[in-house]
Amino acid sequence: MSGQDPSRIGDDLGLGLTVPDIGPVDASGRRRVHPITPVVQGVSILPFAVFLAFVSGGGILSRLGLGAFAGAVVLILLIVGVVIAFGYLRWRILTYWFDGDGDLRVDSGVLTRKERRLQLSRLQAVDVSQPFFARLFSMAELRVEVAGSGDSRVKLQYLTLAQARALRNEVLARSAGIHEDAGEAPEDLLAKVPARDLAVSLLLRTRTVTLLLLSAGFLTITVMTEGWGGLILAVVTGGVPILIVVSEFLRYYGFAVSEAPDGLRTRFGLLRTETRTVPPGRVQSIELVEPLLWRHWSWVRVRVNIAGVGSDDNNNGKTETLITPVAPRGEAIALVHRLLPGLDFDALEWRSAPRRCRRRSPIQWRRIAVAWDAVVLATRRGRITRRLAVIPHARTQSVRVTQGPWERALDLASLHVDTTPGPVSVTAPHLDASAAWHVAQEQADRAHRGRGSDTSTHWAAH
Amino acid sequence: MADLTHDAFTYEEGWTAVSPRLVTARRISLALTYLFVVVIVVVLLVVPDVPVWVPLLVAGIGVVTFVWLWWLIGRRVRSFGYAERGDDLLVGSGIMFRRLVIVPYGRMQLVDVKAGPIDRMLGVTTVQLHTAAATTDATIPGLEPGVAAALRDRLAARGEERSAGL
- Residue A162 and residue A301 in one domain: no
**Portion 388-407 of A in contact with B at CB < 8 A:** 394-405
Of B96, B136, B162, the CB nearest to A418: B136
Considering A160, A187, A214, which residue would you say is the last residue of a domain? A187
* Distance between A429 CA and the closest CA of chain B, angstroms: 13
Question: N- to C-terminal Cα distance for chain B?
Answer: 24
Question: N- to C-terminal Cα distance for chain A?
Answer: 35
- Sequence spans of domains, chain B: 21-76, 80-162
Split into its structural domains, chain A has a count of 2
- Percent of chain B beyond pLDDT 70? 90
Closest CA to A264 of A313, A309, A324, A327: A324
Report how far residue A12's alpha carbon sits from residue A128's, in angstroms, rounded to the nearest whole number: 12
Would you say residue A3 lies in a domain? no
Check if B145 contacts A (Cβ < 8 Å): no
Write down the pLDDT at residue A457.
Answer: 46
* Distance between A419 CA and the closest CA of chain B, angstroms: 5
B-chain CB neighbours of A399 within 8 Å are: 101-102
Write down the pLDDT at residue A462.
Answer: 36
A-chain CB neighbours of B136 within 8 Å are: 397-398, 400, 418
Q: Is the pLDDT of residue B4 over 50?
A: no
- Residue A177 and residue A40 in one domain: yes
Would you say residue A234 lies in a domain? no
Would you say residue A72 lies in a domain? yes
- Residue A159 and residue A302 in one domain: no
Domain residue limits at A325: 280-462
Subunit contact B166:A395, Cβ cutoff 8 A: yes
**3-state SS, one letter per residue, for A90-145:** HHHHCEEEECCCCCEEEEECCCCCEEEEECHHHEEEEEEEECHHHHHCCEEEEEEE
Of B98, B99, B136, the CB nearest to A397: B136
Write down the pLDDT at residue A101.
Answer: 81
- Percent of chain A beyond pLDDT 90? 44
Q: How far is CA A181 from the centre of its chain?
A: 28
* Distance between A234 CA and the closest CA of chain B, angstroms: 36
Position B166 confidence tier, pLDDT thresholds 50, 70, 90: low
Considering A129, A161, A187, which residue would you say is the last residue of a domain? A187
B80-162 maps to which CATH number?
A: 2.30.29
B62-108 pLDDT tens trace: 999 999 999 999 999 989 999 998 888 999 998 889 999 999 988 88
* Distance between B103 CA and the closest CA of chain A, angstroms: 5
Q: Is the peptide bond before A158 cis (omega within 30 degrees of 0)?
A: yes
Subunit contact B162:A419, Cβ cutoff 8 A: no
B-chain CB neighbours of A311 within 8 Å are: 134
Amino acid at B68: W
In B6-25, which positions are buried (b, 16+ CB within 10 angstroms) versus exposed (e)? ebbbebeeeeeebbebbbbb
* Distance between B47 CA and the closest CA of chain A, angstroms: 41
Check if A377 contacts B (Cβ < 8 Å): no
Of A284, A408, A445, the CB nearest to B1: A445
B-chain CB neighbours of A421 within 8 Å are: 133-135
Would you say residue A222 lies in a domain? no
Considering A144, A163, A187, which residue would you say is the last residue of a domain? A187
Spatial neighbors of A329 by CB under 8 A, at least 6 apart, are A298, A299, A300
Spatial neighbors of A271 by CB under 8 A, at least 6 apart, are A132, A135, A250
Subunit contact B164:A452, Cβ cutoff 8 A: yes
Write down the pLDDT at residue A193.
Answer: 94
A-chain CB neighbours of B12 within 8 Å are: none
Would you say residue A315 lies in a domain? yes
Write down the pLDDT at residue B24.
Answer: 93
Quote the ipTM score: 0.85
Would you say residue A106 lies in a domain? yes
- Residue A166 and residue A294 in one domain: no
Check if A446 contacts B (Cβ < 8 Å): no
- Mutation target to probe the A interface, by most A beta carbons within 10 A, among B102, B103, B105, B162 is B102
B-chain CB neighbours of A403 within 8 Å are: 8-9, 97-99
Whole-structure pTM value:
0.84
A-chain CB neighbours of B106 within 8 Å are: 448, 451
In the β-sheet with A114-118, what is the strand arrangement from edge to edge? A95-98, A104-108, A114-118
Residue A55: is it exposed, middle or buried by C-beta count within 10 angstroms (0-12/13-18/19+)? Answer: exposed
**Any idea what the Cα angle at residue A250 is, between residues A244 and A255, rounded to 5°?**
115
Write down the pLDDT at residue A156.
Answer: 92
Spatial neighbors of B132 by CB under 8 A, at least 6 apart, are A147, A149, A307, A397, A420, B107, B109, B166
* Distance between B134 CA and the closest CA of chain A, angstroms: 6
Closest CA to A148 of B25, B63, B127, B134: B134
Would you say residue A242 lies in a domain? no
Each residue's pLDDT tens digit in chain A (462 positions)? 333 343 444 455 655 555 666 655 666 778 889 888 999 999 999 999 888 877 765 556 556 666 777 778 888 899 999 999 999 999 999 999 988 888 889 998 888 888 888 888 888 899 999 999 988 888 899 999 887 666 778 899 889 888 898 899 889 888 887 765 556 667 889 999 999 999 999 999 988 899 888 888 888 888 888 777 777 878 888 888 899 999 999 999 999 999 888 888 999 999 999 999 988 888 999 999 999 999 999 999 999 998 877 555 444 445 678 999 999 999 999 999 988 887 888 889 999 999 999 999 999 999 999 999 988 999 999 999 999 999 999 899 999 999 999 999 999 999 999 998 888 999 999 999 999 999 999 999 898 887 665 555 444 443
Check if A148 contacts B (Cβ < 8 Å): no
Q: Is A261 helix (H, G, I), strand (E, B) or coil?
A: coil
The upper half-sphere exposure of residue B108, i.e. CA atoms within 13 Å in the direction of its Cβ, equals 28
Of A149, A418, A441, the CB nearest to B135: A418
Helix (H) or strand (E) holding A158: strand A153-160
A-chain CB neighbours of B102 within 8 Å are: 398-400, 440-441, 443-444
Subunit contact B1:A149, Cβ cutoff 8 A: no
